[in-house]
Structure 1
Amino acid sequence: MVSTYDHTQFERHCEPLTAFLQRLRESHERKFDEVLSLAQLQLDDECRLGHNGAEFTGRGIAALAHLVDMPPAVVNWLSARDYDRELSQFVNSELIRLKSQDAQANRADRRVFARFRGDGQGRLYCRGLFSDRYAAVDSWPLMQMVTDSLTREEQQSARVHRMSYDGDELTASLFWPGSERMVNGEAYRVGVAVQTSEVGTLRLRVSAWIGRLVCSNGLIVNSDLGEFVSRRHVGRIDMQELAQGVRGAVACAMEKADRALVQLDSARNILVTDADRTIVQLSRELRLTKDQTRAWLDGHETTINEPGVREVSAFSVVNGLTRGAQNHEFEATTRSYMEWLAGRILAPSLDSSESGMGNWWSELQLRARSLSDEVVAGYRE
């Protein structure tokens, strides 16, 4: 494979913020929520919601299976073999059983918070079922909060990088004029990384972000200091308070990213004696899968082959993780998670000096020595 070291690949993954917001808004306008009783969750023979004919997304049917305590493997097996009628019968029987149990225990009728979306062609989908404790923050309102934190000129010129949105989950990075950085002759962008799930599977997060133009990958800055927005979709969410938090996160994003960028450059001076062993040790501590670890190892190898790198260091290990995150077989949520982990392993905190970072990496390499050659080799097979 021929590798090029220009910025074409980075630009290919970008689009104007204004166009992206328009698509989000159009999608948002086709969504609605409804509180349903157990009786209204009954399915027809085609496994659609009898109440309004909605089909179930994968996450929606998983939520329904969880409600009736049906093992996911059973649902997947029946669905894969087109046993829709049988699956509907099982679900409906369990819903009747739940309703009967509630009646016998003199409990009030159970109410379920259901989320729906249309596709613009007349089809309706049930995308999630929740208790009344679920706190919904959809992608368009969140991105509008981020946009409102910018000046009008910044909004018009801002661009979105590596956006992924399937109607329910959003991951994207955003940068605007003034975000260009040059460090030792290498080009970067700084901005914010945004993620949220409209069906509760991802934390709502707005963090500082660094984009490395030469390889089109990004790093989500360690947010342990608490200046960024990060919360689960439960309880009450005050939208005005959330908007204020988003404004604060956007306002400090460039400063935090600049500090992390200094650390990233300093990481070139922290040598790593055995990169494979160190990566495997980290992957075990971070509980990455074998595929994710292999992608990390491959990403590190690609990083070392870059003309401006060559030397094995903390920088090459961290960049290897962000490169590995771009594996086309990974979902966008996996990519975002791995980029977030890269920010965590770069340094203990944004306040860490180069010597503090060096101590952390020395302790890591010391722990890695306990790994056997067979264990390390197992990730290369």
Structure 2
Amino acid sequence: MKPNLTTLGKVFDRVDAMSVNCFDQNIAVPDISFDNLDIVRIAGEPHPLRPVAQRSISNRLGIPYPYLTRCPSDVQAMNLNHWIKHEKNDQLLFRFDGQEVRAVFTTKYIPVDNFEVMERLDSLGYKPETPVQCHLDTEFMSLSIPDGAKAFDINGDKFKPGISISNSEVGLASLSIAAFVLRLVCTNGLVAKSDVSASYRHVSTKILGEFPIVMDKVSLELGAQREQFRLSLESRVDNPESTLASFNRQFALNGGEKDAVEWAWPQEAGETMFNVVNTYTRAAQKEDLPAESSFRLSRVGGNILGMLN
């Protein structure tokens, strides 16, 4: 789903469609074997392993994933089949999408699905026509809800603060809530550095019950974002491109994320930290980015903004 503004109802429909063939199953460890890193057999039946599932089972068995990807198929199978016999749990939780395995966890892990998040928002009174910004794919969801009542202007630029909710059904990140600011001129969305934003490991569904409390706490931070943007406009940067390269290293951006920053810079070029911050939020809109990378770039922009004082 593209990052431009859409509605909560359309996001709900997309989440619903993506979940149609998804289910979970506890699998007895003795029933698990591998043809290679791409195929796991469950009681003899082959199932494709998606990349996230490959990484999670490799980490679970203590085998470095980069090493496995460089091995020939028979060596992959030898390593995986050897170490699965040493798995200390009797069962593992497999998350399926049809016949494909999308993630592997221990049975103590209690996933929070995107569908549950959407239902919680509905129960809190958010209507289907509510405008939202969303990055969504099979691995990650970032959903931001601007609040028009708290909009503000800075030097003619219009901003709408709000709430950002992120979640990964396959374990890439915890369910979290943070402050969000939307720059209306280009629909750049910034996920703010936050002192009270909540993040919960998926060992309980506690956060779903605490949504109203957490969202109220996060909303108290929104007023501070206006002052941070003012500071960014007043903060000169002698060599912006060198500054971007430094932040890329500091926040350990991957190759695709760095390419997105390079793509965004000409559109936001200038000599202040405002331009630097908005380069990262613009980069989050690049078409071919995974949803997780789009969220990370928006968060990097927020982290940089939060450094200003």
TM range (shorter): 0.7 to 0.9
1:229–1:246 Cα contact (<8 Å) kept: no
**TM-score of the superposed pair, with normalisation by structure 2:** 0.82
Give, in angstroms, the shift of residue 17 of structure 1: 0.8
Which runs of no fewer than 5 residues in structure 2 stay unpaired? none
- Indicate the RMSD between aligned Cα atoms, in angstroms: 3.2
Aligned to 1:128: 103
1:170–1:195 Cα contact (<8 Å) kept: yes
Deviations 1:129-151, CA, capped at 9 Å, x for gaps: 112342311111123223433x3
Deviations 1:345-380, CA, capped at 9 Å, x for gaps: 1134xxxxxxxx3xx5xxxxxxxxxxxxxxxxxxxx
Give, in angstroms, the shift of residue 329 of structure 1: 4.4
Determine helix, strand or coil for the equivalent of 2:210.
helix
Shift in alpha-carbon separation, 1:326–1:115, aligned structure 2, 3 A: same
Determine helix, strand or coil for the equivalent of 1:317.
helix
Shift in alpha-carbon separation, 1:114–1:74, aligned structure 2, 3 A: same
- Structure showing the higher strand proportion among its residues: 2
Range moving further from structure 2, 337-346 or 268-277: 268-277
Output the amino acid matched with 1:64.
I
**TM-score of the superposed pair, with normalisation by structure 1:** 0.68
Aligned to 1:245: 210
Which of 140, 151, 168 in structure 2 is aligned with 1:197?
Answer: 168
Aligned to 1:279: 244
CA distance in 1, matches of 2:132, 2:273: 28
Aligned to 2:127: 155
Aligned to 2:264: 299
Shift in alpha-carbon separation, 1:157–1:181, aligned structure 2, 3 A: farther
CA distance in 2, matches of 1:69, 1:254: 41
Aligned to 1:144: 119
CA distance in 1, matches of 2:234, 2:18: 47
Aligned to 1:187: 158
Which of 290, 294, 298 in structure 2 is aligned with 1:335?
Answer: 294
Shift in alpha-carbon separation, 1:156–1:128, aligned structure 2, 3 A: closer
Structure number, greater radius of gyration: 1
Give, in angstroms, the shift of residue 34 of structure 1: 2.0
Give, in angstroms, the shift of residue 181 of structure 1: 4.1
- Ranked by relative contact order (alpha carbons within 8 Å, sequence separation 6 or more), the top structure is 2
2:181–2:191 Cα contact (<8 Å) kept: yes
CA distance in 2, matches of 1:303, 1:245: 38
Shift in alpha-carbon separation, 1:295–1:127, aligned structure 2, 3 A: closer
Which runs of no fewer than 5 residues in structure 1 stay unpaired? 1-10, 119-123, 305-310, 349-356, 361-381
Pairing 1:56–2:49 present: yes
2:39–2:46 Cα contact (<8 Å) kept: no
CA distance in 2, matches of 1:189, 1:63: 38
Query: 1:28-39 to 2 correspondence within 5 Å?
Result: 28=19, 30-39=21-30
Pairing 1:318–2:283 present: no
Query: 1:27-106 to 2 correspondence within 5 Å?
Result: 27-28=18-19, 30-43=21-34, 47-51=39-43, 53-73=46-66, 75-77=68-70, 86=74, 89-90=77-78, 93-94=81-82, 98-99=84-85
CA distance in 1, matches of 2:246, 2:3: 34
1:171–1:195 Cα contact (<8 Å) kept: yes
Shift in alpha-carbon separation, 1:245–1:184, aligned structure 2, 3 A: farther
CA distance in 2, matches of 1:315, 1:283: 16
Aligned to 1:110: 90
Which of 207, 221, 224 in structure 1 is aligned with 2:192?
Answer: 221
Determine helix, strand or coil for the equivalent of 1:343.
helix
Q: How many residues align?
A: 306
Aligned to 1:174: 145
Aligned to 1:263: 228
Which of 158, 164, 178 in structure 1 is aligned with 2:136?
Answer: 164
Give, in angstroms, the shift of residue 255 of structure 1: 4.6
